[in-house]
Structures are given as C-alpha cells and as structure tokens.
Amino acid sequence: MQEDILVKLGEAVQAADKNHAVELVTRGLNLGMRATDLVERACIPAMQNLGDLWEEGEIFLPELMLSAETMKAVMAILTPRMATEQKEHSTSARIVIGTVQGDIHDIGKSLVAAMLEAAGFQVRDLGADVPLEKFCEEAAAFQAQIVCLSALLTTTMMGQKTLIDMLAQRELRQKVKVMVGGAPVSRRWAEEIGADGYGENAIEAVRVARQLIQGN
C-alpha cells in the first residue's frame, strides 16, 4: 500500500496532476508515512526524471512548469510535517538561504531550507533571484553563521563566487560560512571558489551545516 502511494505520487508529480498528488500525500500521511520519505522517494526522483525527459526533448517548458507547481503544492503540505519529524536535534544557529540572482529555480533551495529548519536551525529564506547585495545585508542583519547559496544554471553559479568575494570585501567572510549547492554545482567547484561547504542534496546540506557550526 505504502509503496503503491510512492509510485503513484511520483507519477502524479510527473503528470502535473496537482489534485491527485495532494490527495496521495494526504492519504500517505494518514497511513503514518514519513513526510521525508514522500519527498525523497517519490517527489525528488520524479523531478529528476522530468529533467532528463526535458533534456531529451520529450517534454517542453510549460509541462515542466506545471509539474513544478504540483511539486510546490505537495511541499506546502509536507514541509511543516518534516519540521515536526526532526525537531529533536535543535540548534540555535542562524542560516540565510536563497537562490542567486538571475536564477528562478527554487524547489531544491526550498527543500534545503525546509530540511534545515526541520533540523532546528533558524532559517531566513530570501527566495529566488536574490540580488547578491541582499545576501550580504541579510547575513549581517540576521547575524547568520551560514549563508546557503543555490544555483541551478551554469551561468548563475558564478554568483556564488562573486558573493564570497563580496563578503571578504566587507570583512564579513570571517563571521559567516558559505555553503553552496544546486544541480550543476560540485564539490570541486565549491573548493575552487573557496566555499566552506557543499551538499549534493538536502540531507547532506543538514549534515554539512551541523559540521560547520560545530567547527565554529
């Protein structure tokens, strides 16, 4: 039954069948399934699959946008649940997160923000297409220990490097750690630009954020 829900949820996200996806998520939660499992085992693989289909020219941008909307509707239900599932590791550390300017992809960033919040971090989510200046201002105002930068386009990855340079120029670099991620971002890129941490997915993001805080 639970496996069946995971399969059908993945299909509903891919087919952009928002009502059905919401219904399946509600049913899964009522059956006692973990929100984290519904996200990681159904929704994320579906988005990855869509990316592959798009790359192969099997689907087009409007279809992708509808699936992204479906994913957001599902995440609106699952995010608060994920928070209550993981509250025990609470920390008072503060994190500012956003997708860098020029880049509107926010699904992965929101997932990382939700998982960090679920892990007990205080998270200020600046959204997508965030001016680099704003990251600096908010990091200082919020007294963040970590700034998380998401980039999904090879062209916007450079914003991650620019932000690290900007923090250094403003003498904020010693005060705040920088974590980077997003589909085209790699550990190698993170090292190259002098970031303090990299996470391939939301789970790793939480693990790395905890390490950075402990290392403080």
Cβ closest to ligand B12, residue 29 vs residue 66: 66
Least gap, CB of 110 to ligand B12 (angstroms): 8
Cβ closest to ligand B12, residue 32 vs residue 62: 62
Q: Can you say how many angstroms the Cα of residue 89 is from the centroid of all Cα atoms in its chain?
A: 19
Residues 6 or more apart whose Cβ sits within 8 Å of residue 41: 6
Residues 6 or more apart whose Cβ sits within 8 Å of residue 201: 44
Tokens encoding 92 = 């008072």
Site residues (vs ligand B12, CB under 6 A): 44, 47, 50-51, 54-55, 61, 64-65, 68, 102-109, 111-112, 148-150, 152-154, 179-184, 199, 201-202, 205
Cβ closest to ligand B12, residue 31 vs residue 76: 76
Q: Report how far residue 41's alpha carbon sits from residue 6's, in angstroms, rounded to the nearest whole number.
A: 7
Least gap, CB of 142 to ligand B12 (angstroms): 16
- The gap between the terminal CA atoms of the chain, to the nearest Å, is 45
Tokens encoding 129 = 């297409």
Cβ closest to ligand B12, residue 5 vs residue 135: 135
Least gap, CB of 156 to ligand B12 (angstroms): 7
Least gap, CB of 79 to ligand B12 (angstroms): 13
